[in-house]
Amino acid sequence: MREKIEQIDRLMSPVLSDAQAVELHAVLVACLTSEGKGVGLQRSTTEYIELFLSAKKLEGCSERSLRYYRSTLARFAEGVTKAAHEMTTEDIRDYLAGYSRDGRAGKATVDNVRRVISSFFSWLEEEDYIYKSPVRRIKKIRTSRVLKSVYSDESLEALRDCCTELRDLAMVDLLTSTGIRVGELVQLNRRDIDFEARECVVHGKGDKERRVYFDARAKTHLLAYLNSRCDDVPALLVSLHRPFRRLQISGVEARLRKLGEDAGVKNVHPHKFRRTLATKAIDKGMPIEQVQVLLGHSKIDTTLCYAMVDQDNVKRSHRKFIS
């Protein structure tokens, strides 16, 4: 029956407006199938959002991502008063344009909002709550690519020199040699570390497991830190004073900021270690597919965004191959 409905939709689409096509599809589903979601169950946008978030949670979406989806879609539901199944492409374009007009966000942020809304409507379409996603015709918002800086070897040494605690030195070396996310770092337990093989298992986005590798210096400083501890907390990194608790993301960020201030290194952030690793790996000839696996990216485009090719290497290559 579903194939029949799709065939009727295709045959009638040239002579119907978008609104008429949506209405026809909803009537066909309601009359010819047992689902009848389109007309029979016209939920509010808030109800659709809750269903969408439940589906995302079942797919293994992280709590952080779910919170972002919820807040973004809640603002969207407030900004566009129509029910989701009544919204048009123009309604969504006007909503996104409002961000730019009000100066509330840059192009990158607006495109992130567009992607969340697009994901929401694509799910509604897949579940037959709507006939066709109104976001289909809204293209990706072009943003100017900003070349973000990476740590130089001198900056990394300066950070190490300012580490007065074994924990901080181990933390800097682990971030430098593995390129793991800060969220992955704070989730690590002692048992996750294989010192013999110099590797550890991390749980990335979507709770995906992967192996990452660290160098001899990180191994030395990690062992020294763990041997100095007098607690039995399973977490790899803990607070410096009693009661010893697992270090949180905010704690890592604050500590690195302080190290940066002491070392005279600007904009020290855990994510910058990740970008530095990707850039150095690609500059030294590591295949991009292997860098993708190392960083735990599901799409290679994400890896390419992280990697900033060193301009000096470009200059040397130009002289070698072209000049």
Token output for 157:
């040494």
Query: Is 42-126's fold the same as 153-320's?
Result: no
DSSP 269-315: -HHHHHHHHHHHHHHTT--HHHHHHHHT-SSHHHHHHH----HHHHH
Residues sharing a CB contact under 8 Å with residue 241, sequence separation 6 or more, in sequence order: none
* Per-residue pLDDT at 147: 65
Catalytic member of 181, 221, 272, 280: 181
Is 297 annotated in the active site?
yes
- Distance, in Å, from the CA atom of 182 to the CA atom of 274, rounded to the nearest integer, reads 9
Q: Point out the catalytic residue in the list 272, 274, 275, 280.
A: 274
Q: How far apart are the first and last CA of the chain?
A: 66
Name the catalytic one among 93, 160, 198, 205: 205
* pLDDT value at residue 34: 58
104: annotated active-site residue: no
CATH number attached to the domain at 153-320: 1.10.443.10
Each residue's pLDDT, cut to its tens digit, for the chain (323 residues) gives 677 777 787 877 777 776 667 677 777 776 776 554 444 456 788 989 999 999 998 887 878 889 999 999 999 999 998 888 889 999 999 998 887 676 667 788 888 899 999 999 999 988 888 888 999 888 887 766 666 788 999 999 999 999 999 999 999 999 999 999 999 999 999 999 999 999 999 987 767 889 999 999 999 999 999 999 999 999 999 999 989 999 999 999 999 999 999 999 999 999 999 999 998 888 888 888 999 999 998 888 888 776 655 566 666 666 766 75
Spans of all domains in the chain: 42-126, 153-320
d(CA 274, CA 193): 19
Give pLDDT, residue 318.
62
- pLDDT of res. 36: 47
The Cα 148–Cα 152 span in angstroms is: 13
Q: Does 151 qualify as catalytic in the annotation?
A: no
User: For residues 202 and 192, is the Cβ–Cβ distance under 8 A?
Assistant: yes
Q: What's the predicted TM-score (pTM) here?
A: 0.67
Question: For domain 42-126, is the CATH number 1.10.3470?
Answer: no
Catalytic annotation present for 242: no
In a 3-state reduction of DSSP, which class is residue 258? helix
What is the rounded distance in angstroms from the CA atom of residue 97 to the CA atom of residue 92? 8
